[in-house]
């Protein structure tokens, strides 16, 4: 059984990336780790006014482009907003990327809680 300290350390983050977008992204890089390090994502918040399309955040190394998705959210009939606690680690040197098809002029905001480690 894990101690409270072990559980807290698994979800610990020391950095938050935030950004607002108003156009589609096609594999754009959000965060690039320092050479030799990996990103450990611990939570993602998304808010969008879009009613069609999707937003995907993923690790962009060649091996895992299609299988190491951190979060995908699909637009709904009204605004989408929410925080998702996750515990997903990227590979060494793998940048965190974003792809979206929400449409031009459909604003969205993201916040990613993460830490960087060797």
Q: DSSP assignment of 6-62, as one string?
A: HHHHHT---EEEEEEESS--EEEEEE-PPTT-EEEEEEEEEEE--SS-EEEEEE--T
Q: How many CB atoms lie within 10 A of CB 112?
A: 25
Mean pLDDT of 88-102: 92
* Helix or strand run (H / E) with residue 113: strand 108-117
- Which pLDDT score is estimated for 30? 94
Question: Does 98 score more than 70 pLDDT?
Answer: yes
pTM: 0.85
- Which pLDDT score is estimated for 66? 56
**Any idea which architecture 4-117 has in CATH?**
Sandwich (2.60)
- Which pLDDT score is estimated for 62? 64
Question: Does 75 score more than 60 pLDDT?
Answer: yes
Structure tokens at 92: 């060494």
- Which pLDDT score is estimated for 40? 94
């Amino acid at each position: 059984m894990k101690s409270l300290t072990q559980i807290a350390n698994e979800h610990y983050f020391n950095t938050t990336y935030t950004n607002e977008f108003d156009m589609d992204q096609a594999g754009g890089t959000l965060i690039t780790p320092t050479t030799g390090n990996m990103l450990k994502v611990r939570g993602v918040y998304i808010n969008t006014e879009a009613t069609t399309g999707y937003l995907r955040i993923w690790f962009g190394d060649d091996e895992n482009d299609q299988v190491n998705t951190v979060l995908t959210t699909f637009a709904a009939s009204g605004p989408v907003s929410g925080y998702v606690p996750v515990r997903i680690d990227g590979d060494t040197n793998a940048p965190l990327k974003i792809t979206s098809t929400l449409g031009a002029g459909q604003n969205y905001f993201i916040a990613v809680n993460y830490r960087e480690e060797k």
